[in-house]
Amino acid sequence: MIIRQSLLIIFFTLATCQKEYNPQIHRVQLGGGLKYYYYYVNIYVGSPPQREALIIDTGSTKTIFPCVDCQNNNCGSHLNKYFDYKSSSTFHPLKCQEKFENFQCFCNSQDQDQINQCTFVQDYMEGSSYKGYYMIDQAIFGDELYQAYRNETLIETLIKEKYIDIQTQFMFGCATIETKLFKTQDADGILGLGPETNQQNTQPNLIDMAFRTHNHISEKLEFSLCLGIDSGYMQIGGYDTQNHLNNGNNIKIKYDTNLVNEQYGIKIHKLQIGNQTLDDDFATFIDSGTTYTYFPNKYYNFIMNQINEHCKDPQNCLGDMIKDKCYLYNKTKTNITIEQFFDSFPTIKLQLDDDQIFEWPSMYYMYETKQYKFCISIESGSATLGQTFMRYNDILFDRESKQIQINQAFCSEYVFGDKEIHNISIDEDPKPINETVQQNDYIILAIIVIVGILALAVLVFLGIKKCKKHQELPSDEKIMIKKENDDQNKGIQKGNNDIEKQKGNKFQIGDNEDQNIEMAYKDIYQEKLDEEDNSKVKQQLAEFQKFNFETN
């Protein structure tokens, strides 16, 4: 009891001396990127937790991944093992007629197996499908919360007081059959983030359940996505603006689920490239599960015709056109910077509601396919604003007010306080919550507590000086803390390496490719710094300089 109270006092004292923190906002790192054709997030399901890498998809509503019942080659080989619900002490299979939140399972089959399970079949536009049954279990959202969970299992008496809200009960589909891309992809499954969830015929998603779990701290029913080149971050429960640029897109519009099949639908009223405009509105929607951006044929032709006209001027499009819509940046031949290369292509402007203009520069709508080879990521098809539209904008999906907010931001890296987040290795299972803490652990804890109590008086005495708002640690101390964290979390990067390691070429990246495009973004953001003296971006650039791009 004394140990628990002492630790709580120390945790409280140290917490008051940290940077300003909003407990309503849960931030997690994203993996993947355009070269992988999707972005994913790690969640940890069951008790004890099992990791699942799920594609973030604002264009669908269900969360689905394969379970151990998927046999006879009905499911593919993915990044993690199939979810073993038999090893989870908290799983609950949903039955026919059973309710979960606002959703109710209706079954017409007389088959006994069908009655005992709430089954589903889900088809997707590109032809892939899932078949399986629904289940309920606990989930931990993101790697940082899972690391906190693992650390806290060593201090059993504090779990209920401090980390009870880490786990969220949620409903998901256990896949017993996967087809096409879902069977061959590396990600384990999909995390549906669509707007029309938690209804009688639509299951609640992780956003709904996090909102329900944390409503006592006034969490909002909203989330945001910030997609970088090969990473990004996601936030639930709020909108943290520390990575936003002052001189960039800053748009607030209402979305309408009636515009496009119960999606995050918006209207584009006008397209403008240079002095040419196409004044004819159409409906579209934002879909993080679609790689490229698609326009109806009329608008696609306008965009490509204007880009081609722009490129006829020898002073524009300063690269060798090596393929339709693809250009090679050759620094030696052209003697220009990568920034000048991007600037030589036109910016596409989209007029949205209330005459708000979304600016889409070439560095966002072009993507690197090979070293220094950049292609225009716009296609003809059903109107969809995919990942290439979303890149380097922090996009808030406010489910309560049915609003979308778009702010230009630096998305490749998100810094949590004074340390970067990491993916977690789960090679060693965490200690079960109900396992008795070993005697040696108590001895270690007792030593920590004694030292902590002695330090507590010093902390309280110096509290006023140490707890000044927004006070930053000196850079040397940051390096020491980062080194200590790296030492303590040995093997943490293995989880990320496992995620990005691929049996074929899909995840293989050339040694310089990511550095090329990231340096381009760094140069361009440096120019924005000169224009607006944005201290927030300065912090990100400083972190960027320490970032080590690794390939597997």
Maximum mean pLDDT: which of 114-123, 220-229, 290-299: 290-299
| d(C-alpha 516, C-alpha 519), whole Å | 5
pLDDT > 70? residue 104: yes
Enumerate the active-site residues. 57, 287
Nearest Cα to Cα of residue 299 among 183, 402, 403, 381? 381
Return the minimum-mean-pLDDT range out of 274-288, 335-349, 487-501, 525-539.
487-501
Other CB atoms within 10 A of residue 2 CB? 9
pLDDT > 70? residue 483: no
| d(C-alpha 528, C-alpha 518), whole Å | 15
What residues contact residue 352 under an 8 Å CB cut-off, 6+ apart? 251, 253, 266, 267, 268, 269, 358
Model confidence band, residue 439 (pLDDT cutoffs 50, 70, 90): very low
Per-residue pLDDT, 125:
85
pLDDT > 50? residue 552: no
| d(C-alpha 99, C-alpha 119), whole Å | 14
Return the minimum-mean-pLDDT range out of 329-338, 407-416, 503-512, 539-548.
503-512
Q: Kindly state the tokens that stand for 372.
A: 């220094």
| d(C-alpha 211, C-alpha 145), whole Å | 16
User: Strand, helix or coil at 172?
Assistant: strand
- The angle formed by the CA atoms of residues 389, 392 and 395, to the nearest 5 degrees, is 70
DSSP, residue by residue, 372-391 = TEEEE-EEESS-BB-HHHHT
Q: What is the DSSP letter of 323?
A: E
Model confidence band, residue 436 (pLDDT cutoffs 50, 70, 90): very low
Residue of 461 and 60 predicted with greater confidence = 60
What residues contact residue 504 under an 8 Å CB cut-off, 6+ apart? none
Per-residue pLDDT, 236:
87
Model confidence band, residue 243 (pLDDT cutoffs 50, 70, 90): confident
Ordered by start, the domain boundaries in the chain are 257-386
Q: How deeply is 319 buried, as exposed, middle or buried, from its count of CB atoms within 10 A (0-12, 13-18, 19+)? A: buried
Chain mean pLDDT for the chain: 74
Q: pLDDT tens across 72-103, in order?
A: 899 999 999 999 999 999 999 998 888 888 88
- The angle formed by the CA atoms of residues 428, 433 and 438, to the nearest 5 degrees, is 75
Q: How deeply is 380 buried, as exposed, middle or buried, from its count of CB atoms within 10 A (0-12, 13-18, 19+)? A: middle
Per-residue pLDDT, 415:
45
Q: Are 229 and 518 in contact (CB under 8 A)?
A: yes
Which amino acid does the sequence have at 272? Q
Model confidence band, residue 144 (pLDDT cutoffs 50, 70, 90): low
Q: pLDDT tens across 172-220, in order?
A: 999 999 999 999 999 999 999 999 887 777 888 888 887 776 665 566 7
Q: Are 245 and 408 in contact (CB under 8 A)?
A: yes
Q: Which CATH class is domain 257-386?
A: mainly beta
Q: pLDDT tens across 244-296, in order?
A: 888 788 999 999 999 999 999 999 999 999 999 999 999 999 999 999 999 99
| d(C-alpha 51, C-alpha 71), whole Å | 20
User: Strand, helix or coil at 180?
Assistant: coil
Per-residue pLDDT, 413:
56
For 396-434, give the secondary structure using H, E and C: EEECCCCEEEEEEECCCCCEECCEECCCCCCCCCCCCCC
Relative orientation angle of helices 535-546 and 513-532, to the nearest 10 degrees:
160
Residue of 276 and 494 predicted with greater confidence = 276
Other CB atoms within 10 A of residue 28 CB? 21
For 26-87, give the secondary structure using H, E and C: EEEEEEEECCCCEEEEEEEECCCCEEEEEEEECCCCCEEEEECCCCCCCCCCCCCCCECHHH
| d(C-alpha 246, C-alpha 253), whole Å | 18
Per-residue pLDDT, 114:
60
| d(C-alpha 392, C-alpha 256), whole Å | 24
